[in-house]
Amino acid sequence: MPLPDPFSVAPTPEKYWHLWVNDDGVSCHTECTISDFTLGQLGPGDSPQFSRPLLDQGNAFVTYLPVGWTADWHENHVPKWIYVLKGAWSVESMDGQRVIMRAGEYSYGGDQGCKPTADGKVGHLSAQVGDEPCVQLVIQRNDEAWRALRPGAFQ
């Protein structure tokens, strides 16, 4: 039986716990959901994926990579932290190293300004891994503050 098109079905709502203060000044937990994901590209040349901004004026959002999602060679259009909330994904760098990140792991996407190779490699390849979608929390900056940082810059 052929697999369904991963973009034919919108993601189900993702659950999270919201810790807040009620009118009596008491902290409370409420189980909430993130929904209303939309299909689009996060940057020029990126493969389409579902995403949901978390703030109107912020740079934080949740992405949803359906089973079978892949992205051809591309750079992160801006520097960003990518936290895996559920599932797994892989990232292959131009030097041939492939890293698989699972729930609870995270990476920093600072590959802006790569020089394309003769065979068309630039930036990285990425793909959803396994039999469940990969849900990620992305926090990015749209200015120059995080550009061209070397490993260890956040220590």
Number of helices (H) and strands (E) in the chain: give both, helices first.
0, 12
* Residue extents of the structural domains in the chain: 37-140
DSSP state of 58: S
pLDDT of residue 45: 66
User: Do the beta carbons of residue 94 and residue 34 sit within 8 Å?
Assistant: no
Q: What is the predicted pLDDT for the residue at 126?
A: 93
- What is the pLDDT at residue 38? 80
Q: pLDDT per position in the chain (155 positions), as tens?
A: 554 566 677 777 877 776 777 787 776 677 878 777 788 876 666 677 787 766 655 588 889 999 999 999 998 888 888 999 999 999 999 998 999 999 999 888 888 888 999 999 998 999 999 999 999 999 987 777 777 777 776 65
Q: What is the pTM of this model?
A: 0.74
pLDDT at 49: 79
| pLDDT in the model for residue 101 | 94
Burial 41-62 (b: 16+ CB within 10 A, else e): ebeeebeebbbbeeeeeeeebb
Q: Rounded CA gap, 91 and 89, in Å?
A: 7
**37-140 homologous superfamily:** Jelly Rolls (2.60.120.10)
Provide the Cα torsion 138, 152, 96, 72; round to 10°. 20
Q: What integer pLDDT is reported at residue 48 of this predicted model?
A: 79
Q: Which residue from 82, 85, 78, 60 is spatially nearest to 126, judged by alpha carbons? A: 82
- Give the count of alpha carbons within 13 A of 135, CB side only: 15
Torsion of CA 14, 91, 74, 72, to 10 degrees: -90
